[in-house]
Homo-oligomer: A and B are copies of this chain.
Amino acid sequence: MQQLKQQVFDANMDLPRYGLVTFTWGNVSAIDRERGRVAIKPSGVAYDVMRPEDMVVVDLDGNVIDGKWNPSSDTATHLALYRRYPSLGGVVHTHSTHATAWAQAGLAIPALGTTHADYFFGDIPCTRALTEEEVQGEYELNTGKVIIETIGEHEPLHTPGIVVWQHGPFAWGKSAHDAVHNAVVMEEVAKMAWIARGINPQLQPIDSYLMNKHYQRKHGPNAYYGQK
């Protein structure tokens, strides 16, 4: 359990390092699938005083198993994703500037180039708006549900992120570290897409064969990027 808390702590500390958060506006979790335990950032604790032992451990129903703090207020969203998609090892939520701007614009972040295709297979979708009932009910759980409704039966690791309507980005990966890595990429491609469309409003989405090539050379069965 210490190892899980350390991983989650490290991944949370990467958020300010990569410029993804202001104040406490972000949270990362990771799951230990064997034990059914999720470690997550405590709610509203500042990054510069946070320690590994401050991470909160909950079960998949949200019961606090270990830790003296309240878990992140977004915990129910994380848990919904872990319950639905067994491939997820880590989940992250931020309000990073450019990805959040796409959420506020209510639009998917379009796949415009190989930078995007190296990590995300196709557009990074934007959820529908939650209804008034969904917001006034179990809001954080319903946020998870609307993400799941958008992803549906697709493998979430193929497009490891989403923007929630008028809210901001969620990303995920095989681990907490991977999830943050993907959140960094999402912020960068969100910025590039904003600028590229400003330069040429009539630009084309990336050619599908080029998208395939780049995604597969990094993530496919015959991937040849990086070291074996």
- Give the complex CA separation of A199 and B135 in angstroms: 26
**Number of contact residues on A: which range applies?**
35 or more
Residue with the highest number of chain B CB atoms closer than 10 Å, among A69, A112, A136 = A112
Q: Which residue of B lies closest to A206 (CB)?
A: B166
- Give the complex CA separation of A198 and B102 in angstroms: 10
Contact B106 A203 (CB under 8 A): yes
Let me know if A87 is at the binding interface, CB within 8 A: no
Contacts of A207 in B (CB 8 A): 129, 132, 135, 166
Contacts of A197 in B (CB 8 A): 105, 199
Contact B112 A166 (CB under 8 A): yes
- How far does the Cβ of A141 sit from chain B's closest Cβ, in whole Å? 13
Q: Which residue of B lies closest to A18 (CB)?
A: B22
- Give the complex CA separation of A42 and B206 in angstroms: 27
Let me know if A101 is at the binding interface, CB within 8 A: yes
Let me know if A114 is at the binding interface, CB within 8 A: yes
Contact A225 B73 (CB under 8 A): yes
Contacts of A196 in B (CB 8 A): 100-102, 104-105
Contact B139 A213 (CB under 8 A): yes
CB-defined interface of A201-228 with B at 8 Å, one 1/0 digit per residue? 0011011011001000100000011111
- How far does the Cβ of A6 sit from chain B's closest Cβ, in whole Å? 19
A residues in contact (CB < 8 Å) with B: 22-23, 25, 42-45, 69-70, 73, 95, 97-98, 100-107, 112-115, 129-130, 132, 135-136, 139, 166-168, 181, 184-185, 188, 191-200, 203-204, 206-207, 209-210, 213, 217, 224-228
